[in-house]
Chains A and B, each alone.
Chain A
Amino acid sequence: DADVTQTPRNRITKTGKRIMLECSQTKGHDRMYWYRQDPGLGLRLIYYSFDVKDINKGEISDGYSVSRQAQAKFSLSLESAIPNQTALYFCATSPGTGSSGANVLTFGAGSRLTVL
């Protein structure tokens, strides 16, 4: 099984619908992240969490919310999806400070979301 698992892998939805992307990890990492990737724009950080009680906004958090249900689970929600949220979404984890490779990210396989 993958260390970082994202579900669903692909989703097509309509404008105005609520969507949740889920991420779970078996690496035991404290830190979890949600990134969005658009052609020509690289990876942009949406939200990140350093532990269950710590959640922070990234560069492009508007229109998104997150929930850190447990150390191993970090979900991204689009309350009312719009077409410009069509993108490839990646969840990632890292060990955090004090660990070897503290800021090295391990990515999930990605969730491709299309909003019509």
Chain B
Amino acid sequence: QKEVEQNSGPLSVPEGAIASLNCTYSDRGSQSFFWYRQYSGKSPELIMSIYSNGDKEDGRFTAQLNKASQYVSLLIRDSQPSDSATYLCAVNGPPGNTGKLIFGQGTTLQVKP
């Protein structure tokens, strides 16, 4: 089992819809969770971080964390064509091993006008 798993997609949504991106992780002791966006040919950039159970909202983006289910998701409301990118889920290790992020393989999102 991979440490961090995502559906590679592509996930296709119409403009204005809600895009839902999901990620599961295997290490129950993980403490920090991140979503990075990567446009084709570019480097990843951080869009959301979440550290405790529940929802965290930032503009059109909402990150959701459920540690019991070892599940983290990213919702993008009012999706725009400019949101078309690959979204990488990253998980930080448990105490004593928190120094490195493990990434999922990424989900490609296509927002169609």
Enumerate chain A interface residues (CB-CB to B < 8 A).
31, 33, 35, 40-45, 48, 50, 56, 58-59, 90, 96-97, 101, 103-105, 107-110
Contact = CB atoms under 8 A, between A and B. Distances in A.
B49 A42 contact: no
Interface stretch (B38-46, B59-67, B69-77): B38-46
Interface in B30-56: 32, 34, 36, 42-46, 49
Given A40-B8, A43-B44, A90-B43, A103 B105 contact: no
Contacts, number: 56
B61 to A, nearest CB: 15
A45 B49 contact: no
A17 B85 CA distance: 34
Contacts of A103: 32, 34, 92, 98-99, 101
Contact of A48 (B46, B100, B103): B100
A42 B88 contact: yes
Nearest to B6: A42
Contact of B46 (A50, A105, A110): A105
Q: Which 8 A-B pairs have the closest CB atoms?
A: A42-B105, A107-B43, A43-B103, A42-B103, A103-B92, A42-B106, A107-B44, A103-B32
B105 A40 contact: yes
